[in-house]
Chain A
Amino acid sequence: MTGSRRPLLVVGLVASLLGVCLLVAPTLGSGFTPTGVGRTAPFALGGVVVLLLAGVYFLTDVLSSSTDQGDDAETQPPETPTPERRPHYESLGESFARRLDGISWTDRREAAPTARIRLRDDLREMARRALTDSDHRSRNEIESRLDTGTWTADSDAAAFFTGDIVPELSIRQRLRSLWSPEAVFARRARHAVAALANRTTNTPVVPALREGTTPGQSPPPVSVREYWGPNDETARERRASRASDVVVAALALGGLGILTLTPSLLLLTTFGVIVAGYARVATPPTESVSVSRALDIETPAPGTEVTVTIGIENTGSETLADLRVIDGVPPGLRVTEGSPRFTTALRPGKKATFTYCVEAVPGHHAFEPMLAITRDVTGLHRRESLVEPAPTTLTCHRPRRPAAIAGHRRRTTPLPGASRSNAAGAGVEFHSVREYRRGDPLSRVHWKQRAKTGEFTTIDFDESRLTRVLVAVDTRRETYRTVGRDADTPLARASIAAAHDVSMALLDEQIPVGLVAVSPRSCWLAPQAGATHRARIRTLLTEDDAFDWTPPTADFDAEHALRVITRQTQTATQIVVVSPLLDDQAVQLVRSLDAHGYAVSVHSPFPAEESASLSAGEGYAVLMRGVRIKTLRSAGIHVRTADTLEPTRRGESS
């Protein structure tokens, strides 16, 4: 107990004792009958003091609820996790939306609004490329079409390039600025991006922005682990602030009652004191539950509905009046039927069960512990704990897809494992004849030539070499983005699926395949062939941490990744980079590998629902991706795109 509370304790004890004495011997009070000021002053003083106390209590209550988020003073518990949903992945269009956010009504007052100038320069460059591709006109024609605004029917889009950086506002626009936070320039930029994107993709792009940018606001926790935080404790308690609210109300009414000498208000204060006293003596619930979890299928095929059955038993000796359980559904799984939340009241020894269904998707899904929240009968004490049943995992392997695709560069012979290399040496197929050099094997000396001319010559054959392919899967944080409204599958999943297809197709041809994750979470498998290796690759792509459903938190170190690849592979190894090409770092990595002498090709999956439309932000990302693909292709690197959003409308690969 702190020192400041000791006097209060003494006052409380003395006052209570006095009250009890007055009750036991009423004659003590009757002897003391003050009159005049002596009679009213104590009441006035007492009333004012109690009212002040109510104010102080109220203020500290409000302050503690707004600043302190500690365990006991906590009033508003954070939102409980929503494990039935997938983690919140960033939408593809969010970076563009953030960029537009940088343009506001206020930066029009700057002398040189840099955000606006840079956006217009970038979009103009993009427009030049996009119009060159789609219209097949000369550069001068395109420039003049952009300057006059005849390139599009959308007046807002045309005005983005023809109008001022800080447009003069009409009266209507001024009125609109009163309630709309979006600047005219930003609106024109959206329209321009949509008009450009519509020229290059078949999926319709609308000028609206779907992405909400809420800077500084982290999304509510999805998984139970995320909600619980990194601490090791398995239980924590909170006390609701309801009791202190009652104390404030009772103090205020009591103060008024003393001031005005109203008996009924004093009665309400008595009631408040008793309620607050009960809240103080009420004990938090002792939690003793044991839980079990069972899946009806543990290794289902993708798309199967798996039923999860949860059993909860009260193993303690007290009744649990209010028990709420939230099961730790793994991040990748989505609940399709029922709910992983359950509430009940349980008497000692009783057991309750509930079920829900999840849809199996490829991956190794380990269930997280359950969150159990118990309250006492009045709901004043809240205790939450992590309850861990026996570890449950759901492993779902990808099926073999019949359409095999090989992403590597086709320069091998169809013979199993053999490639006709440029190197000359031992082999069976004739390559060339050259001068004899000391050390050449006698079997390759051209003896007929020697007999005819007397000179020693050596025959070279095509040397058979095994092609090795390394599949590099891009699963950096930047690839965990979604396309389309309400999409909850990140693009990285498409890359992982494509990597699976590519490596299986190569292994079918007996070509040794290795695997590396382009991610801060490392995963490396040296190129090999064979059934065991096939199983190893499938297991890694399903279960390894690098191909998880939750995005990595660490930053990607491109130099380190490059070092790992160059140290462990020979330059004869071909590298297939599987990446959605969502940022320039991916392009940089491909070009660095190319510069190191590897034969690099890129496989870029980019799935999007065909019927859905894209937002302006997503349209911008698709345009940028088209630019990146073009850059790589012009550098002589094969890029194979497999998607419905084919950015260049050309063949499958160049």
Chain B
Amino acid sequence: MPRVSAGVSLITGLGALVVIAVSIPTLVGGVLGVCLLAAGFFRQSRLLVDGGGAAFVGGLMFAGLAGMAPSLVLIAAVLTVIAWDVGRTALGIAAEVSDPSATIRIELVHAVSSIVVFTAGATIGYAVFVRTLGQGSVWALAALLAGAFALLIALGS
């Protein structure tokens, strides 16, 4: 199992767990997510890693509903997505490349680029969010979201 990717995934997962651990449901979601991620690496199972990601999403949902500050929820979400994405990459590397060959280089490149992309995405998202809500226009945000989704699905493959 590629150690760098698995390590990055578990560390960011733990980070997300710490950020959202404000109530019992969020704590359960986070702990379950970390456990499933670890089990997924141990068993080399994509299903378990995906389950870990889903548990984290559940935790995020409860955190949001519990009225957690949007910026904290966003940070937890970024950490979750990094944990899941890097974890999936670790499984892909384990399946395609056998253990003895050195995989640290591509693992590091992917982990760093994944962190950069998701952090940048979150920053842009947060900027749009603050700008629209700062003007008190939930309608604008809703319209923009709906438009973006429709365009994504329509232009998708």
Interface residues of A (CB under 8 A from B): 1, 5-6, 8-9, 11-20, 22-23, 26, 29, 46, 50, 53, 57, 72, 76, 79-80, 84, 239-240, 242, 245-247, 249, 251-254, 256-258, 260-271, 273-278, 280, 321-324, 326, 338-339, 341-345, 354, 373, 375, 377-379
Contact, CB under 8 Å: B113 / A321: yes
Contact, CB under 8 Å: B124 / A274: yes
20 A-B pairs with CB atoms under 8 Å apart are A16-B143, A17-B147, A19-B143, A19-B147, A22-B143, A29-B137, A29-B140, A46-B142, A46-B146, A249-B53, A253-B61, A265-B61, A267-B74, A268-B77, A275-B118, A321-B109, A324-B96, A341-B97, A343-B93, A343-B106
Contact, CB under 8 Å: A378 / B117: yes
Nearest-CB distance from B5 to chain A (Å)? Answer: 10
Nearest-CB distance from B43 to chain A (Å)? Answer: 16
A269 vs B73: C-alpha distance in the bound complex, in angstroms? 11
A560 vs B151: C-alpha distance in the bound complex, in angstroms? 64
Given contacts A76-B46, A268-B77, A324-B106, contact A278 B117 (CB under 8 A): yes
Interface residues of B (CB under 8 A from A): 46, 50, 53-54, 57, 60-61, 63-65, 67-70, 73-74, 77-78, 81, 85, 88-89, 92-93, 95-98, 100-103, 105-106, 109-110, 113-114, 117-118, 121-122, 124-126, 128-129, 131-133, 135-157
Set A239, A257, A345: member contacting B106, Cβ < 8 A: A345
Q: Which residue of B lies closest to A254 (CB)?
A: B145
Given contacts A23-B140, A245-B53, A271-B74, contact A12 B148 (CB under 8 A): yes
Beyond A26-B135, A263-B133, A268-B77, list 7 extra A-B contacts (CB 8 Å): A12-B152, A23-B140, A76-B46, A251-B149, A267-B70, A274-B121, A344-B105
Contact, CB under 8 Å: B65 / A256: yes
Nearest-CB distance from B112 to chain A (Å)? Answer: 9
Contact, CB under 8 Å: A342 / B101: yes
Contact, CB under 8 Å: B155 / A9: yes
Nearest-CB distance from A75 to chain B (Å)? Answer: 9
List chain B residues, Cβ under 8 A from A266.
Answer: 129, 141-142, 145
List chain A residues, Cβ under 8 A from B70.
Answer: 263-264, 267
Q: Which residue of A lies closest to B69 (CB)?
A: A264
Nearest-CB distance from A134 to chain B (Å)? Answer: 48
List chain A residues, Cβ under 8 A from B147.
Answer: 11-19
Given contacts A267-B126, A270-B128, contact A253 B150 (CB under 8 A): no
Contact, CB under 8 Å: A379 / B92: yes
Nearest-CB distance from B45 to chain A (Å)? Answer: 12
List chain A residues, Cβ under 8 A from B121.
Answer: 271, 274-275, 278
Contact, CB under 8 Å: B65 / A260: yes
List chain B residues, Cβ under 8 A from A1.
Answer: 154
A-B pairs under 8 A by CB, number: 222
Nearest-CB distance from A76 to chain B (Å)? Answer: 7
Contact, CB under 8 Å: A265 / B143: no
List chain B residues, Cβ under 8 A from A254.
Answer: 145, 149
Q: Which residue of B lies closest to A22 (CB)?
A: B140
Q: Which residue of B lies closest to A319 (CB)?
A: B109
Given contacts A23-B132, A253-B60, contact A271 B117 (CB under 8 A): no
Nearest-CB distance from A32 to chain B (Å)? Answer: 8
Contact, CB under 8 Å: A13 / B64: no
Given contacts A29-B139, A268-B73, A341-B101, contact A9 B150 (CB under 8 A): yes
List chain B residues, Cβ under 8 A from A257.
Answer: 64
Contact, CB under 8 Å: A23 / B131: yes
Set A29, A246, A261: member contacting B81, Cβ < 8 A: A246
Contact, CB under 8 Å: B150 / A12: yes
A179 vs B156: C-alpha distance in the bound complex, in angstroms? 48
List chain B residues, Cβ under 8 A from A265.
Answer: 61, 64-65, 73
List chain B residues, Cβ under 8 A from A29.
Answer: 137, 139-140
List chain B residues, Cβ under 8 A from A46.
Answer: 142, 146
Contact, CB under 8 Å: A247 / B64: no
Nearest-CB distance from A352 to chain B (Å)? Answer: 10
Given contacts A262-B64, A377-B113, A378-B114, contact A16 B106 (CB under 8 A): no
Q: Which residue of B lies closest to A253 (CB)?
A: B61
Contact, CB under 8 Å: A277 / B148: yes
Q: Which residue of B lies closest to A244 (CB)?
A: B156
Given contacts A15-B147, A321-B113, A378-B117, contact A264 B141 (CB under 8 A): no
Nearest-CB distance from A200 to chain B (Å)? Answer: 42
Q: Which residue of B lies closest to A84 (CB)?
A: B98
Set A12, A57, A345: member contacting B109, Cβ < 8 A: A345
Set A13, A16, A342: member contacting B144, Cβ < 8 A: A16
8 closest A-B pairs by beta carbon, nearest first, are A16-B147, A12-B150, A15-B147, A19-B144, A19-B143, A22-B140, A12-B151, A377-B113
Contact, CB under 8 Å: B97 / A242: no
Set A6, A13, A245, A256: member contacting B50, Cβ < 8 A: A245
Q: Which residue of A lies closest to B144 (CB)?
A: A19
